[in-house]
Structure 1
Amino acid sequence: MKKIILAEDHKVIRDGLKMLLESTGEYQIIFTAGNGQEVLDALDQGCQADLIVSDIGMPVVDGITMVRIIKEKGFNVPVLFVSMFEDESHLYQAMSGGAVGFLTKSVNSNELFFALSKVFSGERYVCSCLSIKLVDKMIEKSLPVAIGIQGSEFSSREIEILELIGQGLTNSEIADKLFISRRTVEGHRQNLIDKTGAKNTAVLMRFAYTKGILS
């Protein structure tokens, strides 16, 4: 049975989490705390736990400060945050500070238990809703700088070539289909990349679909 320290300043939430975790028969809550300082005091007094499940926004000592002090003191106990904060800033602070996982309080029990299994397997875990936000942000960053460009700024021939590129045709196949030279196709493709600021054809196509130029 895994021993857990539970830190949460709202008693109703703390008691609810305690009941939920212990109902599985796999976890034992050996200590509950209302702030990070109480956790640090317990560790200083020799409390041995396999994991700390903690909120971030707590009085006296908040969760992020707590996890940093835990690392500084050399306590070998991982910290999984379950927080009301759903922004990237708190996620980055928590993970860079030494936390092994980050969940928002909107997760269901299935994801909570899945996160616990990952953490106890030595992995790190970020809840799905935040992971999706991070992936979406990465996609946005990969889009061309000239994001304001609209389909009307492409010639009809360029849009025609975009559609054929989207169908997976090569430059030679596009040339044969449109009865133009391969060099002309290459020129149009390069013009499209130059107009959008795309780094490559893959980003160009993502841009075309995102902006509704292609459907």
Structure 2
Amino acid sequence: MWKVMIVDDQDIVRQGLKVMLEQDKKITVVHEAGNGKEAIEILEKNHLVDLILLDVRMPVMNGMEATRLIKARWSEVKILILTTFNDEEYALETLKDGASGFLLKTADSAKLIQAVYSTMKNGLPIQEEVAAKVIPNLLKRKWQEEEIPENITERELAIIKRVGEGKTNKEISEELYLSIGTVKNHVTTILQKLHLRDRTQLAIFAVKHNIS
């Protein structure tokens, strides 16, 4: 059972999200908060939360600031950004700070639940409308590494490609006929070779270098 916290300054939105999420038996909403500060206070008292659905624009503490603070203290907690604002800068900032995905509030219940599953399986769900703005922006940004290092193997390139497509370790293992443990080990090695922090940066690397 995945334990979820919903953070949004509108009570009616929180209630609607809770109803949608709890249609799935594997998801239970254990906490609600009206802003980032309240979310952090809840985590300080009881940090047994697997995933936080986090709005961007909120009073007291917004979602971008909350993402930075939460990931710094509870790195294992997944954060899925949910907002009405289709703004690539929000997406870029929160993804850079450790968020695991970005959805608009216009997403239906099926897409929301699918995003939760993807996030919990180490995927990178980004709604199409957001990706359409984020990816071109990323491509304009100069990456620290202009070339792919020679010590990256063909197998590792195949994994990087699939991470860039937002696939989970399980999906990658099935496509490449590898165990999930082997895929995890490869991802760790790739991050070390490329001097990247996490899977999100690796996905951006794949897009920047057009690895396909």
What interval of TM-score do these two structures reach, taking the shorter chain for normalisation?
A: 0.5 to 0.7
- TM-aligned CA deviation for residue 134 of structure 1: 4.0
Unaligned runs of 5+ in 1: 142-215
In structure 2, relative to structure 1, the CA distance for the partners of 1:117 and 1:91 (3 Å cut) is same
Structure 2 CA distance, aligned partners of 1:74 and 1:131? 27
Residue 107 of structure 1 corresponds to which residue in structure 2? Answer: 107
Structure 2 CA distance, aligned partners of 1:26 and 1:34? 24
In structure 2, relative to structure 1, the CA distance for the partners of 1:42 and 1:75 (3 Å cut) is farther
CA-to-aligned-CA distance 1:120-149 (integer Å, 9 cap, x gap): 1111121111123345668999xxxxxxxx
Structure 1 CA distance, aligned partners of 2:47 and 2:138? 41
What is the aligned-residue RMSD (CA, Å)?
2.1
Map 1:7-26 onto structure 2 (within 5 A).
Answer: 7-26=7-26
Unaligned runs of 5+ in 2: 142-212
Mapped contact 2:56–2:83 kept (Cα < 8 A):
yes
Q: Which moved more, 1:68-77 or 1:128-137?
A: 128-137
- TM-aligned CA deviation for residue 116 of structure 1: 1.1
Structure 2 CA distance, aligned partners of 1:66 and 1:7? 10
- TM-aligned CA deviation for residue 46 of structure 1: 2.4
- Identical counterparts, % of pairs: 29
Structure 2 CA distance, aligned partners of 1:104 and 1:10? 15
Structure 1 CA distance, aligned partners of 2:8 and 2:95? 19
Residue 84 of structure 1 corresponds to which residue in structure 2? Answer: 84
Give the alignment's TM-score, normalised by structure 1: 0.61
SS at match of 2:18: helix
Structure 1 CA distance, aligned partners of 2:17 and 2:71? 25
CA-to-aligned-CA distance 1:145-188 (integer Å, 9 cap, x gap): xxxxxxxxxxxxxxxxxxxxxxxxxxxxxxxxxxxxxxxxxxxx
In structure 2, relative to structure 1, the CA distance for the partners of 1:62 and 1:23 (3 Å cut) is same
SS at match of 2:103: strand
CA-to-aligned-CA distance 1:55-108 (integer Å, 9 cap, x gap): 111111111101101122244201001111101111111111110110011222
CA-to-aligned-CA distance 1:11-51 (integer Å, 9 cap, x gap): 11110001111122221111000111111001111230110
Residue 46 of structure 2 corresponds to which residue in structure 1? Answer: 46
Residue 132 of structure 2 corresponds to which residue in structure 1? Answer: 132
Structure 2 CA distance, aligned partners of 1:63 and 1:46? 20
Alignment coverage as a number of residue pairs: 141
Q: Which of these two proteins has the greater Rg computed from alpha carbons?
A: 1
